[in-house]
Amino acid sequence: MAHLHLIEEGDEVVDTVVFCSDSCHQSWCMKVGNPDYRGWYGCTEISVWEPCAECGDKVPGVMDEEEDT
């Protein structure tokens, strides 16, 4: 399951940043100087695997789990 950081413009979500954990999410926000950390937003399903934006670990997606069976 992924942790997400939503990039918003007005009332629209225009992009997401994927993390493997909340600690990576917090660390990334501090590193990039982004004061927009809004708390834990985890246990989110993503379609296919993506690397964590902070540490690079693989964040598995739902489609990856289906292919394993």
Q: Note the pLDDT tens digit of each residue in 4-37.
A: 999 889 999 999 999 999 999 999 998 877 667 8
On the question of pLDDT at 68 being above 60, the answer is no
Q: What pTM was estimated for this model as a whole?
A: 0.83
d(CA 52, CA 42): 13
Helix, strand, or coil here: 13? strand
d(CA 25, CA 28): 5
Phi, psi of 7 (to 5 degrees): -100, 120
Pairing state of beta strands 50-51 and 12-19? unpaired
d(CA 59, CA 33): 23
